[in-house]
Structure formats: structure tokens, C-alpha cells
A and B are shown apart, each in its own frame.
Chain A
């Protein structure tokens, strides 16, 4: 078993997590992340699980709410919480490409 992650492996997870790292940090995490990943590998030693429970709110299924509007937050207050805003909009540096999702 290798002692530490490669620099590339650390950079890959840092990118997924959107955290920039200094060279020094990369070195540190090469060791520390490896330790945690070794820990979670122990799951492969566990036997005997059967069914595929994927959500752990075990004892109830979702109780559905009526489609009635509740309290609203004041959009001004919402926007004022943002580090950068203008009017009723929250501002970010220009995003060139369009949204990924819906």
C-alpha cells in the first residue's frame, strides 16, 4: 500500500471541492487524505448487508405539505446579506457560459 496520495490526486479532490491549495498544503494533504481514505476502505471488510436503504429517515415517508405560501423573507434583506449586490440582484463576476442544470 502506498504511503501517500499523488499530487494530482490531491488536486483532483481539491478541484471537486473548489478549494485552492498552496504547495505546502498539497504536501500535507497527500499524507492526511491518504490516512482518511485508508480508514474508509475498511468498509470493504464489512459483510452481511442486505437491502438497499439509501435514505436514513427510516421511520416515516415524506409528509407532503399543502401548496400554500408561507412566510417570505424580504428580498432586500436577502440581497443585503450578499457580499456583492446591486438592486434586488446578487452579483458575481461575469459567468461566460450558461447554466449546467435546468
Chain B
């Protein structure tokens, strides 16, 4: 059992040849096997991972991530490894190129263990729209893991392996991280190349790291960022080490709490836990103020318009012509489109594509989409303005803790409302992180969101690591020793 040790310890063991990458890989697969009923994975990369691990035996251990197993959300393109987006329409799709983030983790000699379960095309908040069935919450198998990066959250929470990639369009990293008690970061829009991330809503999507602790999260982010010629929305920035402020004191930090985040839309058990943290911060010399931020209450409406509108166009490419599932005996080209898409897409996806098509049709693009973008920019300005006076914004990540897998799915608005607190961050392109801060009465994890100004991820990690240490929670659902 090595994967529960700290990354620095594992790195030492690899360097002095006490262990080999294959030991870590085999351990990860054993863990996944033991947790199979959690349904965290859609496809395992066993053969290739073992091959990679053996190849690495001859290589110098040149960085902290060397030889470490990582799980990749199944909407991130992996060359030669099936990529389904949890959809029937791609259930036979073997990509012929790698996403830029996959190239980056390969450069670090990390080993991809498998592709994680998710909501179909990342559309949902409970991973229950997956064609392959929902993953289960390691803290209580009757509960959801959240979504859409539910599989990545599940495999990290259950301690199968230390690293996973998720994607976050409207909270899809932070919300499942909150439900499963792990650390999940959505970086600033543009930090990480989206090339090879199957687009859901282009102006909102961002890939991010999901890990058991704050340090690992910052470490993985180091490996993922950078301007990419293949993604025009990626941003060129000076190199920086996101772990650099970890361990610093938070005395004098100025923190804002939007009143809306603590209003009665959030359950009492969660707000009271967040208040405990606020008191702790104050006692440690930080300033915490409650403030009003305009437009936050409109975030879900704007998100619905922008995300469904863009999705209807982004998902038009899945038509049964170039790859993926195609309706068997089409009579004509229209038949290829209509029946491939009718059979290939699940209900949530169809619903959103149809509404999105409506929102863009005729004059509607002006009435809805363009208007939503304009208001969204005002929301962004309102949130950015907070950072003129404060270092960070905090609040709860979710309005409730994880709910039952069997809860009804007949309300099409429900999956949007689950993300009411995480969506504003995507709308403003800001970085946001979920940090576990405790449990409710049913021993389900509660998460707190830390939001920073654009490109100030390091500051988020500073506060998160400080609290992580102060709170010192036992976050292993299997009990036993926790990794550091």
C-alpha cells in the first residue's frame, strides 16, 4: 500500500527504487476492483497502463508526478483509448489524437488508469444521465456522487488513486467534489487548453484537477496549464508554481462572503458549518465581511441560455457520419441525422439540445443568447469588483449534501438548481475550488467554495491548505489512515 502516502514520499521510494511505477499501477487497479460497485469508470486502460509502467522503469524519475496513476474524465480525448462522453452515440469511439492535457500528463510520465464516469456529455448534476449508469457515493452507496465529474470524484474520494481530471462547465468539478469530500479546482477560464475536451459550452468549459488534498491539486495544476496554439481561448502567462503560497499564514487576508451564498436557499447544516469556518478565520487574523454582489441570483437563468445554446451547436457534430454510433440502415441523409441522434443521445441531452436550438433560432439569438452574454459580462464585472477590496470570496459549494440516487429526475430545472452556487464562477471565468470542511448529521461531506480573482489560483490554494491543516478532517470514507 503506497498510494496513501504523500506524493513526496512516493517520489522518494521511486527514486531509490524501493518501488516501481508498476507497483502503483497494480495497486490502483486493485483498489478500483475492490470498489467496482461504485461504478466510477467507463473504460479501464489496464493493458496499456501496465505497459507504460514497465517502460518507465528505465527512465529517470524526473518530477514529482512521475509514474503516478491518474484517472481522466471520459469527455477528454485519449488517443487509442475509448472516449464515450458517457453517451451511446460515442460508445464505440476510439480517438486518433490526444487532448492537450493528456499530452501534458504524458510528458510528466503519469500513467492513465482509465476513463471516469460522468453525466452524458457533462449535462447533469448527479452523473445519473450516464449511458453506463450512475457512479455511487463512497460515503453512502445510496447517494449520488454529484456531477458531471461524478466518476472522477468517486475514484478520488474512495482513495483508488491520488489524481483525476474533471471538467467544469457549471460546477461539474466543485459540486461532486463537495458531495464526496475531496478537493476540486476549476481554474481561470483560459488557464488550461480545451483542445480535446469534447465541448459542451465553449465559453464556460474548463478542465481541472481533482485530488484528495490541496497540495496534490496545486501540483497537478502546475502540469496542466499553458497557452496552446490549438485553443484560441487559452491564455499565455508567466510560469508559476501553484504550491508556492502553501504553508503561509493567512493573517491579514481579506475575505468576502456574498449574502446570497448564505441565504435560505442553502440548508442550515451547511451554512452553520461555513459560519464555523468564518469564525475560525477571524480568530486567526483574517477579515471576513458579508457583502452583496449584483446579478448572482440571475446566474442560473443566464447559464441555462448560454450553456444550452452553445451545446445545441457543439453537439451538432455528432451525426453518425465521421465517427461514433450511426443508425444502421438509413433511407437517406436525413434519416442518418434524425435516427442516429434520436437513438444515440439520452433524454437530458436531447432536451437541452432542443431548447438550445430554440434559443438560437430566428431572432431568439438576440433576445436570449446575446442578451445573456451582455448581462453575464455585468455579473463578471460585479464579481471582479469584489477583488478590488478583498483577496478571496468564500461560501458553500452546494445547497444540500449529496441526495439519494433514487430521487426523482422528472423536473428538468432541478439539475441546474443543484449548481446555483457554483455557476457564477463559470459565468465570470474565475478560479474556484471546493474544500471539504466537515460533515452533516448523516456523515455526508460538506464543502466550501473558495473563489479567487482571475489567475490567482495560488492565493486560493494558500487559504485552502491553511484550513485543511486547521480542520484536520478524516476524509477517507473507508476509514483508516488518511494520506497527507
* A–B in direct contact per CB < 8 Å: yes
Interface of A toward B, CB cutoff 8 Å:
10, 13-14, 16-21, 29, 32-33, 35-37, 39-40, 42-43, 46, 48-60, 62-63, 65, 70, 73-74, 77-78, 81-84, 90, 92-95
Interface pairs (6), CB distance under 8 Å: A13-B358, A17-B356, A39-B301, A43-B371, A92-B333, A93-B330
9 new A-B pairs (CB below 8 Å) besides A43-B368, A83-B320, A90-B321?
Answer: A17-B341, A17-B356, A29-B354, A36-B413, A40-B368, A54-B374, A56-B189, A56-B429, A59-B190
Pairwise interchain contact A77-B326, C-beta atoms closer than 8 A: no
Say which residue of A51, A56, A59 sits within 8 Å of B235 (CB atoms): A59
Query: Are A95 and B333 neighbours in the complex by a CB distance under 8 Å?
Result: yes
Residues from chain A with a CB closer than 8 A to the CB of B319 are: 18
A19 touches B232 (CB 8 A): no
Chain B 92-150 interface residues, beta-carbon cutoff 8 Å to A: 93-94, 96-97
Q: Which of B352-406 contact A (CB under 8 A)?
A: 353-359, 361, 368, 370-378, 380
- Report the Cα distance A2→B24, complex, angstroms: 59
Query: B360 — nearest CB in chain A belongs to which residue?
Result: A16
Q: How far is A46 from B351 in the complex, measured between Cα atoms in Å?
A: 25
Complex Cα distance A14/B353, Å? 9
Interface of B is mostly: helix
What is the bound-complex CA distance between A57 and B371, given in angstroms?
16
The smallest C-beta distance from A63 to any residue of chain B, in angstroms, reads 7
Once A16-B358, A35-B411 are accepted as A-B contacts, the answer to whether A93 and B336 lie under 8 Å apart by CB is yes
Name the B residues within 8 Å of A53 (CB-CB): 373-374, 376-377
Q: Is B45 an interface residue (CB 8 A)?
A: no
Q: Are A37 and B232 in contact (CB under 8 A)?
A: no
B229–A92 touching, CB < 8 Å: no
Check A56 against B355 for contact (C-beta < 8 Å): no
Known contacts: A52-B374, A53-B377. The answer to whether A82 contacts B203 by CB under 8 A is: no
A33-B355 contact given A43-B301, A43-B302, A49-B371, CB 8 Å threshold? yes
Residues of B within 8 A of A49 (CB): 371, 374-375, 377-378
